[in-house]
Amino acid sequence: MELLELKDFSEDGVFFEDDFDKRFKAFDWKQFQDKSVRISACGLEQIPAWVHLLIGIELSRHARKIFFGDSSQPKRIFKREEIDKVE
């Protein structure tokens, strides 16, 4: 399972919209194409809801499955096969 760390989109653990936008646009999302990805927020105390939304939307365009949480008990939040059945 691949790892996406939310801290990579922050400035010392704080999310500023302009800084986030630059990091978000420069990020190589294709590295997660058809893979299972775990989103980690370790060490971050406050994460704005818009961060989760934007990352989740973009990641869902590439990843096969998306999980959230620590490696010992990740929670699945997205599975592409379920979306494909609806379409």
pLDDT of res. 45: 77
pLDDT of res. 87: 59
Give me the sheet containing 65-68, strands edge to edge: 2-5, 36-40, 65-68, 75-79
Reported pTM: 0.86
pLDDT of res. 42: 80
pLDDT of res. 59: 97
pLDDT along the chain (87 residues), means of 10: 95 95 98 97 86 96 95 92 63
Domain boundaries, the chain: 2-86
pLDDT of res. 67: 97
